[in-house]
Amino acid sequence: MRQISSEVLKERKTKILSAVIHHYIKTGKPVGSIVLIDEYNVSLSPAAVRNVMAELEEEGFLTHPHTSAGRIPTDKGYRSYVDSLLKLQSFAIEEEEKLRKKYDQRHMEIESLLSETSRILSGLSQYAGFVMAPTQYEEIKNIELVQISNSELLIILLTKSGIIKYKKIEVFLSQLETAKFRSFLNDKLRGVSIAQVNKRIVSEIKDFKQQGKKILETAEKISDAFYNIQDDIYIYGTSNVVSVPDFNNFELVKSLIKFNENKEKFIEVISKDFSGDGINVKIGSENAITEFKDLSIITTVYKNGDRVIGVLGIIGPKRMEYKKMMSLVSRVSEMLNKSFKDM
């Protein structure tokens, strides 16, 4: 009997695994040997194809549902497929034009731009799109104080990336006191990240102790207001995921409702992608959020110049067109980067 080299066997496995995943993504149905031979130019006998599929199943790349003779990919199979994508496919011209037209409207507030980006991601992917702005890492550019009533002081915070935050505290300051505080805050906090503000105010507050109890209490309230500023996340299209035929079930609906009501866990998980470049793909059980065990998340960072300022991506079923979705996430990131550069 003629021996088959390990290279040939590896090539067969790679081709058959890719064909199974491609067909399953397209149809959502388990894939059999005849389909692979007829539609994917697999030049092997049905018995040989079944043997290779059986090996792939033993190795954890494929599985078969119930008593079906066909196979479907596992999380490990999808991971192998994603890792083999050495090049992202270029966008179709019409998709590129959609993005350019959206981002040609550059004269909008940062918050509106990020919210619109989540809509673009959702609209082009037909899944859920999200953009996270990790406010805690933002550096302060300017602080304004406005006495809006006899009992409320408005704090307006502008970051270097152009994000604006508003906080109200219960206090009344005279014009002279307001001017002193404004000068103090800008002098001590300009260039400091929001995460460091609380510590910085505490260390500098001794300068105000001689000014009296009222000034000291106001400084502490401002410190607490900064401490309670939360990271922002803009999410659009979670209902799209529920409408995917594979996932039209009650458990997924409950998971997504829970996700929309409590985003803190998601922000915590996505924040871990904040430090790296490139495309990041988490498939099914690779997600730290148990409710997402049947979903995949594709993310990348976006920048203002050379400085990473946030994370964007999509949430969809494991059965998605990874090449197209990875390309989409990459291109939207590039467009958002350009938008910041041109502001």
Task: State the pLDDT at residue 89.
Answer: 47
Q: Is the same domain home to 194 and 241?
A: no
Q: What is the pTM of this model?
A: 0.64
Q: Is the same domain home to 266 and 123?
A: yes
Q: Is the same domain home to 328 and 260?
A: yes
What percent of the chain is predicted at pLDDT more than 70? 74
Quick check: 333 pLDDT over 60? yes
Q: Is the same domain home to 329 and 258?
A: yes
Quick check: 177 pLDDT over 70? yes
Identify the top-confidence range among 97-111, 136-150, 259-273.
Answer: 136-150
Range of the domain at 31: 6-83
Q: Is the same domain home to 39 and 67?
A: yes
CATH number at 248 reads 3.30.450.40
Q: Rounded to an integer, what distance in angstroms lies between the CA atom of residue 248 and that of residue 218?
A: 52
Task: State the pLDDT at residue 86.
Answer: 46
As a whole number, mean pLDDT of residues 120-132 equals 88
Q: Rounded to an integer, what distance in angstroms lies between the CA atom of residue 172 and that of residue 311?
A: 39
Residue 153, H or E segment: strand 152-159
**How is residue 117 written in tokens?**
């980006």
Q: Rounded to an integer, what distance in angstroms lies between the CA atom of residue 215 and that of residue 221?
A: 10
Q: Is the same domain home to 43 and 73?
A: yes
CATH number at 168 reads 3.30.390.60
Phi, psi at 56, each rounded to 5°: -60, -35
pLDDT tens readout for residues 90-111? 444 555 566 666 665 544 567 7
As a whole number, mean pLDDT of residues 305-333 equals 87
Quick check: 184 pLDDT over 90? no
Q: Is the same domain home to 217 and 311?
A: no
Q: Rounded to an integer, what distance in angstroms lies between the CA atom of residue 252 and that of residue 245?
A: 12
Does a structural domain hold residue 113? yes
Quick check: 115 pLDDT over 80? yes
Q: Is the same domain home to 12 and 52?
A: yes
Q: Is the same domain home to 288 and 154?
A: no
CA distances from 28 to 98, 287, 303, 316, 326 (A): 29, 22, 37, 14, 20
Quick check: 134 pLDDT over 90? no
286 or 248, which is more confident? Answer: 286
Does a structural domain hold residue 1? no
Q: For the packed helices 93-103 and 322-342, what is the interaxial angle rounded to 10 degrees? A: 30
Q: Is the same domain home to 271 and 217?
A: no
| Tally of structural domains, the chain | 3
Q: Is the same domain home to 235 and 329?
A: yes
CATH number at 53 reads 1.10.10.10
Quick check: 60 pLDDT over 90? yes
Amino acid identity at 181? F
Amino acid identity at 99? L
Does a structural domain hold residue 88? no
Q: Is the same domain home to 254 and 218?
A: no
